[in-house]
Structure 1
């Protein structure tokens, strides 16, 4: 609904829509024969700026009109026009002060935001020892500043889009216009704009609309709380998404290898970086396949186990009433329950749950003969390995149960077949025309300089890495176009 030129009608409309809103501020004023009123939301604005930058200059003005106010108030950084009540409400809830003048069907929105916020702090989920200690916060403007501070170039574009029909919220599409493929940027912007959300509560509500890997457990949209990671991805030609109210940023298209790289890798010697990355890949494989392989070998292929170890396992398992598959499933379910409890409970109580789960339950189940000690060791090693690549924890957790069932029912033959299907599924992901498993599939020798082993900065600085220049990358294929 558009604003009316009748100020009393506009005033009644605001008062009716904001009834029982104690934080709603509206003040009438009259300068000569001209009536006007101010509208703002208490707690989202800076009261001192409202008085000094908006109210005081307007009250001292002789000619009260929209054009004159726009030209006379030059000390306000953000000044926008609002032609509808919906636009006015959006600006009010974003920390703007609205000025409505009699005889004008356009309102002015002055940016004097001062919303409740926390300061920039260290990342809580992506710790580092030799990388920057800054993390995104819940304020969109602060997050934009964190990116702009690192990329001091006009090529960094921060396109703001208003989403959600019921409660409009802003989000920002960030990209480098000299590095990102134009078709890729256009496709992602279109996907975000067509999300048709009623409420944009957090970054997770946008992922299904941007993610193209709908038939896979691995997403081609990655998330991070670190600005330095987003900056590095933007320089590679990728696109990032920032959401108001969320300290997590998204970027796409993501590659499988991104999960095994950390900011610390680029601040340590290349030989040690390569060693750590190899450990991450090994831990990933271990966390998925170790319980299933152990169950499969212990159930169907005992001849593959050394004799001395076989006797040890048999001595432990003969006293337990359950099969290896049942033991593995029971322990993993208990572990997931304790992990979830530790996450949701207060920190002090969470530590107690970890101690009880690790010592009391573990020792008691083994001493009571319910579960064999070798199985407890296998599950403990699996659980530790799954945290090495924490970004893939959800996928790894579900796949682990799947491979235990496959190993317990079909043995190693079933595991090999299921692993082959999993590899084909991962390799088939093609987000926006970029192969998810690049540069391994399809193989790209030039892009291996920063995969398993990171080359020195002398060589890396000469490479012009672009996500759309990888072998097999073709954005036009994703868009259904022909070259």
Structure 2
């Protein structure tokens, strides 16, 4: 709604909007012989900056002007000493800026207001990343304040080609959102598509990155996401330099980006600080761990239930002697132990740290040992679950997908054996290969095969070779413009 030029109407409308808002500060003042309204939100402003740079200079204006517009222009250009200042013409804009730590000034008979940036709320300082710990990487992460995150990114990419396009999401409570990209690396069509998807999202507000991510990801019926997220400015900067488009949201310490490829789950910045031979070994180890975490329990159930002839005789005797005392078939045993593991893991995550560690220890030692001793589960199954759990943490970005896929494959293997397991694995491969992310195949550069890019996917080549290519994600085979 447009701001009224009538002082009383404007005052009453603002008071009505902020009725029962005890943190809203509104003051009626006189500036240059004109009545005026001055307001801010307590707790979101720096009171010292507000007093020194805004209120005292404004109240010191004694000069008379013919029109209130001239007075407002004089205040804007000669009086207030703040870096951020905007003119707004609607009550919705006033409310948005108030919630963002601005103060506003309305002068009688004006159809617009001035807002001044005097933010001063408590904020968390940049700390060491908690979810993406690295041995040799930087020790800083994003925070919940969008302006701080933009500064962290600017510090990494000192170039005017880094564009930070800001817009607002939310039909009820608007939230600032920034689309980040490097001008000569990202495709203009991709930036426009990301902006279109965000603006068309029917969200009342945005409280975290997952809400916006849902409207950017492709392949809604797949276990794998085509949008990545990170809490590290260095990782985010490196992705933008590869031609990807990122999104940062006020209130969340994570940034999201796309295109996101399957191979991105198996790489980290530590790979580029380690020698090529060791980085390549770690990447191959991660692929192997991914295979174990998804297929090992299902393979054990399939072989133990239908294909005992595939087990060496000595090992078969050990497995049979352990499993003959358990009351459940292998399929039910595997499902029970995996569900118990997920319950204990979730309990350990949601409880306070001190109690969470105790739950993990009790679950691992007491419950696991007691179930084996009581003959509820067999020792081989417990070993398989332990190996699977450890392997799943090696590729942590895929944990959610792996946890569900593992149970799906266990059920399939328990009813159809190894043949059904192979067919379901083929179906999963087809589904993954069919995914795209902004036109880029999700499985690139492995499928379709791009030989020049394999040197930084399955393995990591020497920097002397990697530095020769100005890699862009859209150049992967099947996506680059001819």
**TM-score, with length taken from structure 2:** 0.97
Other structure's SS at 1:209 match: coil
Give, in whole Å, the separation in 2 of the partners of 1:474 and 1:449: 18
Aligned to 2:283: 277
State the Cα distance separating 1:474 from its structure 2 match. 5.3
1:243 pairs, out of 249, 267, 273, with 249
Aligned to 1:131: 137
Give, in whole Å, the separation in 2 of the partners of 1:395 and 1:150: 32
State the Cα distance separating 1:452 from its structure 2 match. 1.8
**Which ranges in structure 2 are unaligned for 5 or more consecutive residues?**
none
Contact 2:57 2:80 in 1 (8 A): no
Q: RMSD of the TM alignment (CA)?
A: 1.1
Aligned to 1:193: 199
Aligned to 1:480: none
What does 1:318-337 correspond to in 2, within 5 Å? 318-337=324-343
Other structure's SS at 1:27 match: strand
Give, in whole Å, the separation in 2 of the partners of 1:452 and 1:342: 33
What does 1:49-198 correspond to in 2, within 5 Å? 49-61=49-61, 62=63, 63=65, 65-73=71-79, 75-198=81-204
Contact 2:216 2:227 in 1 (8 A): yes
- Determine if the alignment matches structure 1 residue 2 to structure 2 residue 2: yes
Aligned to 2:468: 462
Other structure's SS at 2:5 match: coil
Cα gap change, 1:418/1:52 in structure 2, threshold over 3 Å: closer, same or farther? same
Give, in whole Å, the separation in 2 of the partners of 1:74 and 1:281: 59
Give, in whole Å, the separation in 2 of the partners of 1:358 and 1:31: 70
- Determine if the alignment matches structure 1 residue 29 to structure 2 residue 35: no
State the Cα distance separating 1:188 from its structure 2 match. 0.8
What are the Cα deviations for residues 138-193 of structure 1, in whole angstroms up to 9, with x where unaligned?
A: 00000000100010111000011111011111111000111001111111111111
What does 1:468-479 correspond to in 2, within 5 Å? 468-473=474-479
Cα gap change, 1:32/1:415 in structure 2, threshold over 3 Å: closer, same or farther? closer
**Which ranges in structure 1 are unaligned for 5 or more consecutive residues?**
476-482
Runs of 4+, deviation exceeding 3 Å:
none
Aligned to 1:309: 315
Cα gap change, 1:32/1:174 in structure 2, threshold over 3 Å: closer, same or farther? closer
Aligned to 1:224: 230
2:455 pairs, out of 449, 464, 473, with 449
**TM-score, with length taken from structure 1:** 0.97
What are the Cα deviations for residues 376-396 of structure 1, in whole angstroms up to 9, with x where unaligned?
A: 000010011111111111100
Other structure's SS at 2:87 match: strand
Other structure's SS at 1:387 match: helix
Aligned to 1:46: 46
State the Cα distance separating 1:351 from its structure 2 match. 0.8
Give, in whole Å, the separation in 1 of the partners of 2:159 and 2:72: 34
Give, in whole Å, the separation in 1 of the partners of 2:296 and 2:226: 26
Give, in whole Å, the separation in 2 of the partners of 1:38 and 1:428: 57
Aligned to 1:383: 389
Aligned to 1:264: 270
Contact 2:54 2:81 in 1 (8 A): no
Aligned residues: 476
What are the Cα deviations for residues 58-95 of structure 1, in whole angstroms up to 9, with x where unaligned?
A: 12222462211111146311111110000000000000
Give, in whole Å, the separation in 2 of the partners of 1:425 and 1:289: 17
Contact 1:433 1:474 in 2 (8 A): no
Other structure's SS at 1:443 match: coil
Give, in whole Å, the separation in 1 of the partners of 2:159 and 2:322: 65
State the Cα distance separating 1:318 from its structure 2 match. 0.6
Give, in whole Å, the separation in 1 of the partners of 2:43 and 2:5: 29
Aligned to 1:16: 16
- Determine if the alignment matches structure 1 residue 373 to structure 2 residue 379: yes
- Determine if the alignment matches structure 1 residue 293 to structure 2 residue 286: no
Moved more, 417-426 or 445-454: 445-454
Give, in whole Å, the separation in 1 of the partners of 2:195 and 2:472: 19
